[in-house]
Amino acid sequence: MKIRRNEYEILNQMLDDAIAGTFEENCFDESELSKLQTKFMRYLSTASMSEKKIQEEKDNLKELITNISHQTKTPLTNILMYSELLTEVAATEQEKEYAGEVFAQGKKLESLIEALVKMSRLETGIFQYQKKETAYREIIHKAVEQALPKASEKNISILVRDVGRYRSYVDEKWVIEAVYNILDNGIKYSGEGTTVYIEEFSYEFFSGIRITDQGIGISEEEIPLLFGRFYRGRSAHDKEGIGVGLFLAREIVENNGGYIKVTSQVGTGSRFDVCFPNISTL
């Protein structure tokens, strides 16, 4: 059946209305085109309802996440404050140990809730990235600044090699967090007196930030599992952490159009390449 020009215009207008969210059902006759229009109308109506329901669910989830974050903040702050006070007034070493354990578990719970909120926002698309042209130099310096206190505690050096040549189109704030998470991971699994190196690199279509540590390394079969939610390696159970840092790093990098490449050798260390498209290839 050939569709005449006016019939094509009717169908085209239906699509335009559906895209604009102004589509409404009209009265049709019993022609073949009318039957097609009716089916099309039912499909568009169903799709519109589904989209509306998805958006409502996202809004409800956003509200739930915000409420969880707000409702847990005050109780956790009080737990941490009172556990510190108990440590100061404890009469015996055992009491101090118990109060210290309450504080440590409270901090762990605080980190877990913060990570869960971030994961939910990233996975559901609630958060919108604010991308702009960004120099890797800025990301590196700010991530290193955050990581230095923990590195100093373990007498670990962070050596920033030649930077300042490359840039990409990313959300600076969130990519800083991704790079910091990888740096933090390298510090966590490296021994005292070692060095973590961070530098830029560039290929024809991609450039990025490379983090190399002198830690315990990762076996080849574990590398594909590294970025799983709450995954902790076989050698990581005696280390601090909840297993979400690398998961968040991957989510952030991929949502900024990039990827992470890992190479490692057990007992020697690991290298993480955080890659983004070159601005010239966007």
* Residues 177-219 pLDDT 10s: 999 999 999 998 888 999 999 999 998 889 999 999 998 888 8
Instruction: Note every long-range contact of 119-128, with CB atoms under 8 Å and residues 24 or more positions apart, other chains counting.
Output: 119/229, 119/244, 119/247, 119/248, 119/251, 120/61, 120/65, 121/62, 121/65, 122/248, 122/251, 122/252, 122/255, 123/251, 124/58, 124/61, 124/62, 125/58, 126/58, 126/61, 126/62, 126/65
**Which of the pair, 40 or 207, is modelled with greater confidence?**
207
**What is the Cα–Cα distance from 261 to 30, expressed in whole angstroms?**
60
- pLDDT of amino acid 5: 60
Q: Indicate whether 116 pLDDT > 80.
A: no
Give Cα 3 distance to the centre of its chain.
49
The CATH class of the 1-127 domain is mainly alpha
**What is the Cα–Cα distance from 229 to 156, expressed in whole angstroms?**
27
- pLDDT of amino acid 197: 95
pLDDT digits (tens, 9 = 90+) for 78-107: 888 888 888 888 888 888 888 888 888 888
- pLDDT of amino acid 1: 47
Domain residue ranges of the chain, discontinuous segments joined by +? 1-127, 132-281
pTM (two decimals): 0.67
What average pLDDT does range 2-10 have in this prediction? 64
Distant-in-sequence, close-in-space partners of 117: CB < 8 Å, separation ≥ 6: 65, 68, 69
Q: Indicate whether 45 pLDDT > 50.
A: yes
pLDDT digits (tens, 9 = 90+) for 130-172: 899 999 999 999 999 999 999 999 999 999 988 888 999 999 9
Three-state SS string over the chain comes to CCCCHHHHHHHHHHHHHHHHCCCCCCCCCCCHHHHHHHHHHHHHHHHHHHHHHHHHHHHHHHHHHHHHHHHHHHHHHHHHHHHHHHHHHCCCHHHHHHHHHHHHHHHHHHHHHHHHHHHHHHHCCCCCCCCEEEEHHHHHHHHHHHHHHHHHHCCCEEEECCCCCCEEEECHHHHHHHHHHHHHHHHHCECCCCEEEEEEEECCCEEEEEEECCECCCCCCCHHHCCCCCCCCCCCCCCCCCCCHHHHHHHHHHHCCCEEEEEEECCCEEEEEEEEECHHHC
- Count of other CB atoms within 10 angstroms of residue 182: 29
pLDDT digits (tens, 9 = 90+) for 209-264: 999 999 888 888 888 888 887 776 666 555 666 678 888 899 899 989 999 999 99
First to last CA, the chain: 43
pLDDT digits (tens, 9 = 90+) for 263-276: 998 888 999 999 99
Report in angstroms the alpha-carbon separations of 252 from 19, 128, 150, 175, 219: 29, 11, 23, 7, 24
Superfamily of domain 132-281: Histidine kinase-like ATPase, C-terminal domain (3.30.565.10)
